[in-house]
Amino acid sequence: MDFNFFEQRISKIKDLPLPGEISHYKMAPEFRIRELMEGRMVRDNPRKAAVMALFYPGNENRTQLLCILRKTYEGVHSNQVAFPGGKAEKEDGNLRITALRETYEEVGVNPKDVEIVRTISEVYIPPSNFEVQPFIGLYKKPKPFKIQESEVASLLEISLTDFLGDINLTTKKMSTSYAKEIDVPAFKLNDYIIWGATAMMLSEIKDLLKQVL
């Protein structure tokens, strides 16, 4: 999809109601949905974080969405696909600043070059006890990305057309930090499986975009 057309249309999502859990549940395992609906998942003073879903023009001005592959480390989010972002620091002031700062640190995008379109629904991540605020941003005049090698293994530059296509929805049997051999809804994009909190955020973004594109 041409980025100029995308830029004109995406502004219309500002006035749309957020689908929130309706979108999130599409990409959550059944037992997680039951826990959420029955109120058994208690948030124990969650830590705050923010991420950036960054759209930008790629080759031939085609709209792309940026994700990152996190490095392998000892932690619950090791080697997972995510949006650029991370935990809030005291000096940030607010989560918008957190998202912009982390995006700059992880992929080298200057905050001054990002236009924030809107926030979407927060997602709670039980294994790490983080409550994550996602932002949607436009990077209209992209420069070469510069990854933070200590945090980021590689970049996933995802075609908007691929992202919006239902053919890239799948289910994988996985073992996670909270369950073994469960069927997990996921996106398969750029030959990577994207699941969990990032998939839930992607689902809400997709549902919003489909209303205006």
How high is the pLDDT of residue 39? 55
Going residue by residue through the chain, which has 213 residues, state the pLDDT in tens, using 9 for 90 and above: 999 999 999 999 999 999 999 999 999 888 777 766 665 566 778 899 999 999 999 999 999 999 999 986 554 444 689 999 999 999 999 999 999 999 999 999 999 999 999 999 999 887 778 899 999 999 999 999 999 999 999 999 999 999 999 999 999 887 665 667 788 899 999 999 999 899 999 999 999 999 999
How high is the pLDDT of residue 194? 95
- Cβ contacts of 144-151, under 8 Å, gap ≥ 24: 144/108, 145/66, 145/107, 145/108, 145/109, 146/107, 146/108, 147/68, 147/106, 147/107, 147/108, 148/105, 148/106, 148/107, 148/108, 150/71, 151/70, 151/71, 151/105, 151/106
Start-to-end CA distance of the chain, whole Å, equals 10
How high is the pLDDT of residue 41? 64
Three-class SS state of 156: strand
Strands 152-159 and 130-138: unpaired
How high is the pLDDT of residue 181? 74
How high is the pLDDT of residue 9? 97
pTM of the model: 0.92
